[in-house]
Amino acid sequence: MDTKPWRERVHDEEQLLTQLNRLVSEAATRRAQALQEGVDELGTVAEVARDLGRSWNAVDKAIKKLDRKNPPGQPDTSTTE
């Protein structure tokens, strides 16, 4: 069995972790946008949380994190590609 040298395996895994972290960040942004749409539709964070069976704190934190990434007046830099 031909095994890659450990340095090469570490490098490959670091690249994979970087890619996965980017994907997680993009998914969190899309989730927060959807939660914000829920607030726009239902009226409050608490109503969205109740509808989803989540804590209002979790919903609120996700939306606030999105707000920090995209402050009002700034163009949305998130990507949907």
Distant-in-sequence contacts of 66-70, Cβ < 8 A, 24+ apart: 66/29, 66/32, 66/33, 66/36, 69/29
Per-residue confidence of the chain (81 residues) as pLDDT tens digits?
679 999 999 999 999 999 999 999 999 999 999 999 999 999 999 999 999 999 999 999 999 998 888 776 665 555 544
pTM above 0.85, yes or no: no
Q: Which of 8, 67, 9 is nearest to 33 (CA)?
A: 67
